[in-house]
Amino acid sequence: MSDGAGGDPVSGSGAAGVEGGDSGEGPVGAGAAAGPRTDAAALYPPLAARPRASAVVGATFIAFSGIFFRFSGATPSTATVYRTGFALPFLWLLRRYEERRAGPRTAHARKLAAAAGFFFALDLLLWMHSVVAVGAGLATVLANMQVVIVAVAGWALLGERPSSRLVAAIPIVIAGAACISGAFESGAYGADPALGVVFGLGAATAYSAYLLLIRRGSGGGRVFGPLFDASAVCMVTGLAIGVALGEFDPDPGPVALWWLLVVALTSQVAGYGLINVSLPRLPAALTSLLLLVQPIVTVIAAALILGEAPSPLQLAGCGLILGGLLLATAPVGRVRSAVTGRGGDTAPSIGGE
């Protein structure tokens, strides 16, 4: 899950890019009133008091989203619509809680979060197509390349100078993606591993755009209000694209609906919520290590549960990507101090699954 502070190529704001700072408190639109600023620690004190445990549990929830999607047997657009649709009532209740405690968000912030929802839909659709093409484990590793993509976008579009670690990480990550694609071997795992890499990179790019927008729509420590707005737009966008492509199934069956409800509750609501509350409270180096929990858990779980069997070269590609992400986001000299709880800025967010 994205931009740079404290010398890191990306700064963390949680899975959905929520950050407990001033971003998103832009101009107040017609009829919108800016509420008092309330940090997420005040909104969710038990979670904020245990950021390490919250981050690990949240990352683990999100790690299983690709596996649950495979269990559902639904098409990507069907899964996108029902995953976000099932989550909306719960997100609405949590949004109301935040508004009662912290006041309403600005109209400007809500528009930015809604715009982010369009890119979140693209992210989910492309990522699930990647899951179909190359498997849940490898697709999840590819999706986490958004960490580098956000930093490169900031370099190209905003003139933000990248760190030397980021520059060194880029060719490593690219080499890892090439290994996963099957370009260097025959018989690589997946129905179409090269296409899976293309979809995975597209998902990472779309999620990068999502993060850049929702960070500016998530000020004052809000967690679920921005996610509600983005999820609503994501559902509508997924429906429109699914209908246009002839892929959306309005009645996927009770088994599919059950597993999509599980994804909605574990990933869309609980996973992103835990990540958004916890990551801004962790040092950058520790956040970068936690960033690796999600794809590693998915690769192992997909192998054990789904019987996915990436080739040794594809697994080496996973190692290159994850190693590149760690190089780009976690200075080695700060890892020990982060693990022992000493200070540091927050780092990137978990990939958008």
Sequence-ordered list of residues with C-beta below 8 angstroms from that of 37, at least 6 positions apart, any chain: 22, 25, 102, 219, 220, 221
Q: pTM of this prediction?
A: 0.83
- Asked whether 351 and 146 are in contact (CB, 8 A), the reply is yes
Q: Is 247 helix (H, G, I), strand (E, B) or coil?
A: coil
Tokens 């492509």 label which residue?
Answer: 245
Report residue 125's pLDDT band, with 50, 70 and 90 as the boundaries: very high
Q: Which of 40-54, 167-181, 210-224, 268-282 has the lowest mean pLDDT?
A: 210-224
pLDDT higher than threshold 90 for residue 134? yes
Mean pLDDT of 223-239: 96
pLDDT higher than threshold 50 for residue 23? no
Most confident of 4-13, 236-245, 324-333: 236-245
Sequence-ordered list of residues with C-beta below 8 angstroms from that of 223, at least 6 positions apart, any chain: 14, 16, 18, 40, 43, 44, 94, 98, 273, 276, 277
Q: Is 6 helix (H, G, I), strand (E, B) or coil?
A: coil
Identify which has the larger pLDDT, 227 or 341.
Answer: 227
Q: Nearest 5°: CA angle at 50, between 299 and 325?
A: 35
The model's pLDDT over 3-19, given as tens digits with 9 standing for 90+, comes to 333 333 333 333 333 33
Q: Which amino acid is at 109?
A: A
Report residue 349's pLDDT band, with 50, 70 and 90 as the boundaries: low
Q: What is the pLDDT of residue 6?
A: 32
pLDDT higher than threshold 90 for residue 124? yes
Q: What's the number of CA atoms in the CB half-sphere (13 Å) around residue 105?
A: 32
pLDDT higher than threshold 70 for residue 298? yes
Q: What is the pLDDT of residue 345?
A: 45
